[in-house]
A and B are shown apart, each in its own frame.
Chain A
Amino acid sequence: MSTTTSTTDPRRKAPAGERVADWADGRLGIYSLAKTNMRKIFPDHWSFMLGEICLYSFLIIILTGVYLTLFFHPSMNEVEYHGSYIPLQGQLMSEAFASTLDISFDVRGGLLIRQIHHWAAIVFLAGMFVHMMRVFFTGAFRKPREINWMFGFLLFVLGMFTGFTGYSLPDDLLSGTGVRFTQGAILATPIVGTYISMFLFGGEFPGTDFVARFYSIHILLLPGIMLGLVVGHLILVWYHKHTQFAGPGKTNKNVVGMPLLPVYTAKAGGFFFLVFGFIAMVAGIASINPIWVLGPYRPDQVSTGAQPDWYMGFAEGLIRAMPGWEINLWGHTLVLGVFIPLVLFGLFLGVIALYPFIESWVTGDKREHHILDRPRNAPTRTAFGVAWVTSYMIMLIGGGNDIVATHFHLSINSVTWFVRIGFFVGPVIAFVVTKRICLGLQRRDRDKVLHGRESGIIKRLPHGEFIEVHEPLSQEALHTLTAHDQYQPAEIGPAVDENGVERKVNGTQKLRAKLSNAYFGEDNQIPKPTAEEYKEITSGHGHH
């Protein structure tokens, strides 16, 4: 061993750490790995930590989830409860529910871990949602990161279903109602719905199988896939290197920031503890899913104000707002009132998943993009994103229409009608308003570049006129505000070619030209100032 160390004095042994590293290098090649990665650069921006929150809450969920499996019994055998929670003693309940009570009342720290697990799941989903919006609004999904966008999207969707199967496990009155709703929705699927329901539940609802089946889906199948996706997601982040915002010294060809060792390790590693600590404190203070208040599940009982966890809220809203359309033909029933929301649920998510491909088709841009867009500089994309979030939020309100009605003393019917109309009108208004705000901000940037920053100083000129003094921007600021790309709208070209023969233009090309114009046409982006404009204004008569 000592022969391979790099110490200058052959008689002195290398330090222990180096010898361990040597040993590992001989088997894993760690020095070559570390050579390129140990001082890898990570750019800094507050919004880059959103993804970290997701990663860390995912790790917390796995850690606490393993603990919970040590005590949870995924069984629907009916037992009489004799644990220490007095109000439910002597009641019939499934073993799943009874063991969840045991975790909450008889295992010391069990309640804390349960609550950390559930809170972390809520933070995980919320984090993914916000992280996804960050990536969307800054255009970080563009080439070469479209596949990673899909990975992230899959994680979001699988996260929703892992959450759903997880909170269904205790077999309490609230979650059982949610499972019943899911079964009702499955039944609405044409042709195969009844069969899927029978196979999923091992017969009629609720049966005695679903807790055990959901358990293996919740703790093995879905998290296994998700773990793979998370690893893939991270590998791609590593491989593509992180995006960065435009700024002095930051180009599409470099990455500016702090090295992995030590700063990023300390910050990111520390951030894991911050997230974990924060969630642990929340779990110590705020109760979540108090199943002992709800009681065990009975298909003929329900509590008012039944709500899914927030991330299922928009699906709940779709199902609540939809009118009860049913078509009966040839002895069959098409349950549109439930099936349409089910399809919309997939389509609504699918649109955002495919967006990167739609945009790259419209722009025809095949270059790599590592500099982030400011949302204002992509008005149509930003407006589309805000419209999407608006319908999501309106459906979230719809999912809690009873809560809204009781809290604000409104009629449930008017809340539902607001949601029904809002689902169509809200996104349109949001689109128009957002686009105008973006264009306004672009104009302001343009003015700032050409005329400088408003200093707030009012000057009186010798002839009595008052003017506000504008300070010219620094070179850094000028560069940052003008660094973004501006596309020109694609044109179909003349209807006839140079010989006067009619050119064939197919429908997709026309659509693309139209979309391209909607994105980059005259009224859809403000031309950024050119160097000539700037020189003309600054060289002439001062800044004003």
Chain B
Amino acid sequence: MSSQDTPEENLPAERAADEHGAVRVADEKDPFADPGLPPHEHRIQDIDERAAKRSERAVAFLFTLSMLATIGFIAAFVAIPKDEIVYIFPLGHISGLNFALGMTLGLALFCIGAGAVHWARTLMSDVEITDERHPIAAEPEVKAKVLADFKEGAQESGLGRRKLIRNTMFGALTLVPLSGIVLLRDLGPLPEDKLRHTLWSKGKLLVNMNTNEPLRPADVVVGSLTFAMPEGLEEHDHDFQNEIAKAALMIVRLQPDDIKDKQELAWSYEGIVAYSKICTHVGCPISLYEQQTHHVLCPCHQSTFDLSDGARVIFGPAGHALPQLRIGVNDEGYLEALSDFEEPVGPAFWERG
């Protein structure tokens, strides 16, 4: 749209002068005129053959060093045992093989580069050369010819005239990628209500993650943070990772008087409360517990929850409280779940509601 273009007079005008790319000669009228390329200044290597010889030796030395380094690399590969730990100041105790291979390979490569660059800088010609640029856009005649050719080709195809062919072709080309999309269907199952359920259900014992023993109330002392999983879940189970990703539980004991939230108190047992360990922000496992304030903190994005107040969010990017698991004690005195989580654990999603 030409009305959108800046009028000519608003564009810098001086360009017109050197439209044809000629280097302007300094003149009295324009003190800022381009004086042209400055004369070439010789390097010491250009005028002193001994200096040039020195440079030659320096380049050859670098290339030789590279050869030696490659031999060193092979020697290190063969000679140094892969489990040897060496002390190198200031790096500390590190793998001797890795260090030796890295240094020799690095040196072998670096010296080739340094040699080539030194060669280019000191011995190859450093006379600057000027090349012309040509406008990228085609000349009007070329453009006219191309447009005419295109028109001719388009006419010969009859694409514009034979609408039936054109429309059915577009139809076919639009539909054919659908097969590709349909093929992706079996990448995974539909969500259904998978994110709403965990392995917890009424009567499932709370098993201590560290000892693999069912927990009794006496095992949970004030100020400690205990991680638990549902009974029957084994590390070797093929779906262990998926299940633990939802069922992981953290258990703390509070003084019942400290619990501010009524439902929390009702779902607890003698001050023992069980919350989902999976952060409601984006699903990191929460693992930092501040026993004085009863706050837990997710180490990934620092969402902070108050366990004495329904695990509501008190800081950070999480959007809602941690789900609580209703617990009690069974006839044998072990802690058990009284139901599954009432709401989905982990990050929020569109269907969560």
> Is chain B a partner of chain A in the same complex?
yes
Interface flags, B311-325, vs A, CB<8A=1, else 0: 001011111100000
A197–B347 Cα gap in the complex (Å)? Answer: 12
> In the bound complex, how far is the Cα of B245 from the Cα of A112, in angstroms?
34
Of B99-107, B143-151, B159-167, B253-261, the stretch lying at the interface with chain A is: B99-107
> Measured between C-beta atoms, what is the minimum distance from B289 to chain A in Å?
13
A265 to chain B, nearest CB (A): 8
Q: Would A281 and B281 count as touching, CB distance under 8 A? A: no
Stretch at the interface among A4-12, A151-159, A332-340, A380-388: A332-340
In the complex the two chains form, what is the Cα distance from A111 to B9 in whole Å? 63
Which of B30-38, B48-56, B170-178 is near enough to bind chain A? B30-38
Of the listed stretches B18-26, B265-273, B329-337, name the one at the interface; the rest are far from the partner chain. B18-26
Q: Are B102 and A302 in contact (CB under 8 A)?
A: no
Task: Please tell me if B129 contacts chain A, counting CB pairs below 8 Å.
Answer: yes
Q: Is B60 an interface residue (CB 8 A)?
A: no
Binds A, one of B110-118, B200-208, B216-224: B110-118
Query: What residue of chain A has the Cβ atom nearest to residue B6's Cβ?
Result: A364
Q: Which of B7, B37, B283, B353 has the most C-beta atoms of chain A within 10 angstroms of its own C-beta?
A: B283
A134 within 8 A of B: no
The answer to whether B29 touches A203 (Cβ under 8 A) is no
Q: Is there contact, CB below 8 Å, between A283 and B6?
A: no
Chain A residue nearest in CB terms to B120? A266
B188 contacts A202, C-beta separation under 8 Å? yes
A349 to chain B, nearest CB (A): 20
Given contacts A259-B129, A300-B245, A302-B285, A270 and B317 within 8 Å (CB-CB): no
B301 on the interface (CB 8 Å rule)?
Answer: yes
Is A32 interfacial (CB-CB < 8 Å)? no
Residues of B within 8 A of A538 (CB): 31
B residues near A207, Cβ cutoff 8 Å: 188, 241-242
Number of CB contacts from chain A to chain B under 8 A: 392
Closest-CB distance, A517 to chain B (whole angstroms): 12
Cα distance A319–B347 in the bound complex, in angstroms: 13
- Measured in the bound complex, the distance between the Cα atoms of B114 and A304 in whole Å is 42
The chain A residues found within 8 Å of chain B, CB to CB, are: 39-41, 78, 84, 92, 105-106, 108-109, 111-112, 115, 144, 177, 180-181, 183-185, 187-195, 197-209, 239-241, 248-249, 251-259, 262-263, 266-267, 269-285, 287, 297-306, 319-326, 328, 331-338, 361, 363-368, 370, 401-402, 412-413, 416, 449, 475-476, 478-479, 482-483, 485-491, 509, 512, 516, 531, 534-535, 538
Chosen A-B contacts, 27 in total, with CB atoms closer than 8 Å, are A84-B83, A109-B97, A187-B349, A204-B195, A249-B23, A254-B23, A258-B129, A270-B116, A273-B111, A274-B117, A276-B110, A278-B110, A280-B102, A285-B99, A299-B283, A300-B245, A304-B299, A306-B300, A324-B281, A326-B319, A335-B349, A337-B318, A365-B6, A412-B302, A416-B302, A475-B31, A475-B35
Query: Which 3 residue pairs are nearest across A and B when measured between Cβ atoms?
Result: A284-B102, A184-B282, A277-B110
B: which residues have CB within 8 A of A?
Answer: 4-7, 9-12, 14-15, 18, 20-21, 23, 26, 29-38, 77, 82-83, 91, 94-95, 97-103, 105-117, 119-121, 124-126, 128-133, 135-136, 184, 187-191, 194-195, 209, 227, 229, 235-236, 238, 241-242, 244-246, 248, 277-278, 281-285, 287-288, 299-303, 313, 315-320, 346-353
